[in-house]
Amino acid sequence: MKILITGSNGLLGQKLVKQLTEDTDIELIATARGENRLPADSKYTYAQMDISDKGQVLNVIAEHQPEVIINTAAMTNVDQCETDREGCWKLNVDSVEYLIEATEKVGAHLVHVSTDFIFDGSYGPLKEDAEPAPVNFYGESKLAAEQLLLDSKITWSIARTVLVYGIAHDMSRSNIILWVKNNLENNKEINVVDDQWRTPTLAEDLAMGCFLIGKNKAQGIYHISGKDMLSPYDIAIETAKFFELDSSLIHRTDGSKFQQTAKRPPKTGFIIDKAKNDLGYNPHSFEEGLAVLKSQLS
């Protein structure tokens, strides 16, 4: 099976490259904007492809003729999406339109990664059929992309996820675990909210979920996340405990104390029974996820 992934330089993209190259039945085409930031490997082919460039998308996909396309590329900085709405729409919506057109031309199956931020956060955890109602522009853009898939003629899957954490080669962005760990190691006090709830997702688990969806060409929407419902404050305390750091530096606060450009949904998190039953998806516990991180840091 030939699989093409977008955003291979990102955290999820790098984890997918690792998992897909370990399967000898898969021929992998890794694509991203600019140069390949991963170590060179004969097990996959790298092609430059900017998903916001329609010509590149059509040409690269036509050249490689994949059976499955997994789209991990997006603008995911929620506050940046709020201030650069044009750029956000271009990366998160227009690019999906181009991918759908390219997918249709080669008769492939498209797996698209989406987010819990399409929901308003009034309750959680959520099943796949919960009613979307985004509270920020990032969520609006991701919901619009989902609608493009629903309206398309191709076969598709949507893998929604929540608060992804992990470590990758040449990382361009941090995540909550590394932020907490780095601050506590430097004896810096941090304020962490306790009135938001998520099911944090280890990047390896999200990659496995996308891999299972893609390999099986499983159609429809799947919630792919961790299994533990935690607040950011809980996450910080658990991180301090696991890495034997000083939790007294962590101060409990709430969302009203933070001036963030984009509004956050208070409570999301996912019910992942469908992915478990249909795909055999079995994510790590949060503590197991921390152990994976620790092994990669050592």
| Number of Cβ atoms within 10 Å of the Cβ of 213 | 27
Domain holding 26, by residue range, is 2-169+200-227+269-284
pLDDT of residue 298: 74
pLDDT on residue 171: 67
pLDDT at 248: 98
Mean pLDDT of all residues in 107-126: 98
Tokens 């004969």 label which residue? Answer: 42
When divided into structural domains, the chain yields a total of 1
Is the CB of residue 209 less than 8 Å from the CB of residue 275?
Answer: yes
Is the pLDDT assigned to residue 129 strictly greater than 80? Answer: yes
In a domain, 74, yes or no: yes
Question: CATH no. for residue 126?
Answer: 3.40.50.720
Q: How far apart are CA 38 and CA 14, in angstroms?
A: 7
Residue 250 falls within a domain, yes or no?
Answer: no
Helix (H, G, I), strand (E, B) or coil at 153: coil
CB atoms within 10 A of CB 165: 24
Residue whose token pair is 């522009």: 137
Range with the poorest average pLDDT among 41-45, 60-64, 236-240, 242-246: 41-45
Residue 68 one-letter amino acid: V
- Any domain includes 51: yes
- Percent of the chain clearing pLDDT 70 (strictly above): 99
The answer on pLDDT for 77 being more than 90 is: yes
| 3-class secondary structure, 29 | strand
User: Is the separation of the CB atoms in 32 and 13 below 8 Å?
Assistant: yes
Cα–Cα distance, 191 to 189 (Å, whole number)? 7
Contact in structure between 235 and 184 (CB atoms under 8 Å)? no
Which position has the token pair 């170590």?
39
Q: Is 174 domain-assigned?
A: no
Whole-prediction pTM value? 0.97
Residue 242 lies in a domain: no
168-177 pLDDT, tens digit each: 887 666 789 9
pLDDT value at 131 more than 90: yes
| pLDDT given for residue 42 in this prediction | 84
How far is it, in rounded angstroms, from Cα 291 to Cα 284? 10
pLDDT at res. 172? 63
Does residue 139 belong to any structural domain of this protein? yes
> Residue 254 domain-assigned?
no
pLDDT of residue 257: 82
DSSP label at 192?
Answer: E
Give domain status of residue 87, yes or no.
yes
